[in-house]
A and B are shown apart, each in its own frame.
Chain A
């Protein structure tokens, strides 16, 4: 079974802190994604990566950056956390499908509270 793990389930940070959210997948997937999930807004894509050191902006990249130095690991960075970044953060990975878009496999999520 594919396993996607996230470094923390719950995190509390202060405004202005630099925050790192880590995601690791164990199935050699090419694609990795970071989403945030907020009530009434569904899932919104922050960034995604289709290969090591490659990244593309999603729908809401402002205030975030990412890093993918190894294929299995995709990090989300909040350079200076703000209260409006309080949210549930979900990481996902997928194969690069030849016949169509492949299923995404999600981690359990990190609930971040910025005070």
Chain B
């Protein structure tokens, strides 16, 4: 079946540091890939997505590239801010299957 494996947290960085959160997946066919973010006390919201191999999703300075050869979708940001402190979820979804499979989430804390 489908599965998503995320880098374990928590991750603590200083402001302006470089961020990478690793995500690898197992799926049949050609899934869409997503990163969602959950700020404290809120539900999840879409951060970025990619629907086919070699697509790059980007938003708010975050980027992730859909790598079919390594079955990965790593999240990166060049310079994190305190306001980026949140839980980040990698997810995949397959066409016609409706539902998505989520990773366990990675908690990021950015210190001033």
Contact = CB atoms under 8 A, between A and B. Distances in A.
Interface of A: 4, 31, 33, 40-43, 45, 48, 50, 58, 90, 92, 94, 96-97, 99-109
A109 B89 contact: no
- Chain B binding surface SS class: loop
A48 B43 CA distance: 17
Interface in B21-73: 31-32, 34, 36, 41-46, 49, 51
A33 to B, nearest CB: 7
A40 B87 CA distance: 12
Interface of B: 31-32, 34, 36, 41-46, 49, 51, 89, 93-95, 97-100, 102-105
A114 B95 CA distance: 37
Contacts of A48: 98-99
A60 to B, nearest CB: 13
Given A101-B31, A103-B49, A43 B102 contact: yes
B98 A109 contact: no
Contacts of B42: 108-109
A33 B104 contact: no
Nearest to A4: B43
A103 B51 contact: no
26 contacts: A33-B99, A41-B104, A42-B102, A42-B103, A42-B104, A42-B105, A43-B44, A43-B89, A43-B102, A50-B98, A58-B99, A92-B43, A92-B44, A99-B95, A100-B32, A100-B93, A100-B95, A101-B31, A101-B94, A101-B97, A103-B34, A103-B49, A104-B36, A104-B100, A106-B45, A108-B41
